[in-house]
A and B are shown apart, each in its own frame.
Chain A
Amino acid sequence: MAYLEGTNLVAAYGVVPILHECSVKVEKGELAVIVGPNGAGKSTVMRVLLGMLEATSGSVTLDGNDISMLSTQERISLGLAFVPQNKNVFPSMTVEENLEMGAFLRTDDIKKTMEEVYSLFPILYEKRRQLAEELSGGQRQQVAFGRAMMTQPSVMLLDEPTAGVSPIVMDEIFSNILDVRDAGMAVLMVEQNAQQALNIADKGYVLVSGRNEHTGTGHELINDPEVRKKFLGG
């Protein structure tokens, strides 16, 4: 059994069905990427894994334990961390306060983790006294990423971490994600930039209309002619 597993997830927003028996799993030290067209339910998978949206059926397990019935907060305290695509910082708080909030549940000394975040993103150390709303889009993504790291999670869920950032920043963020994976975290990421994401992914899921359309390692999917034609622009 994989470290984090969502099995046969079915979910709907009101009466609009979004997910139809969709399954994803990710191991510790592994980067799994969910790609697919708009409206495929990519973000919804994350919301269900986090308990922000209740699944009609299916189960979510963490390290073999069923966490389907737990609240979002309980799942966070068990080691899940989430970086939403939008509104992923506290805009009227400083960079440092944003990071502190990430460590809200921790009772131990958070200085060391904060130093790790600052060494990963030196620009954040420079701007630690500035309000998050004053930062550029790329820097905000870094704050969001840093905030999630402050919880010292075992699983990191990222919803389009490179949305709206320049290609240079995108490369930086991807390299940060690989660092986190190499440190032993399980990373599950939803990405618009399918080609680049699958390039670095250990495992990929192509989601279409809430169903698993293709599954494989990143390279298998990139080299699959059907996936290339349909989702990667030839």
Chain B
Amino acid sequence: MLDRAPQESKGGTDTRPVAFRGAGFVPSAGRYSGWIALVAVLAVWQLAGSAGWVSQLFLPAPSAIALAIWKLAISGALWQHVSWSIMRIGTGWIIGTAAGVLVGFAIGLSTLARSVGITFISALFPIPKIALLPLLILWLGIGEEPKIATIALGVFFSTAISVYSGVDAVPRNLIRMAQSFNVPFHAIVRRVIWPGALPSILAGFRITASVALLLVVSAEMIGAQFGIGAFVLQAGNLMQTDQLLAGVVILSVFGLAVGKLINLLEARLLHWR
């Protein structure tokens, strides 16, 4: 039998509240504040341009850039440049990613591949891949191949590193669990290691998309007639700064679109997190 204590009363009025000390250190992004800030900056920029505070040659107003984009769009030049860049990025990224995922998994799963692979990756990863473009032109000619190969190389190393880091980060207890149930090697890779490494792999995709964008612009600036990089360089040479900045805006939109695509992939594939 439980001996129940009587209900306690507060007793007296000489009390004061305990001071709250737990505020702060929980930053969160407001839903509209980023857009409001962007619009405000554009408005100030436009005002500065319209009022003649800054030279239109050195910094065209947002309206001039928008007009340049519109003209490019209706002339068809925009699509021509963008489609060449997308073809180069897409092909280079897919080749680099496929090779990077294969090599990354090999390094993550095999002692031999790790011993050899990490040495090569450590030695070659720091080289700015654009520096290899002249050599690749010598090897592959002056067509699309050297540009695509430059992008693929840039993507390959980052992908391989993010994949084997992801494989290394899969909790070992999950692998031991699967082994304790006699789950075969291929099923452990498919059902435990692949999903476990996926967060790191997708984070790698985010980085390699930026690397690919950087390399395509650089490669197109060095040796291409069409493509956003070539367009930006030509506009700069002709002092057409509105068109130059139009190219920069298009690159920014492209980067944002890729980021959104990866966000969607993460939401779909990593919903369990």
**Same complex:** no
B residues near A, CB below 8 A?
none
Please report A residues at the B interface, Cβ cutoff 8 Å. Answer: none
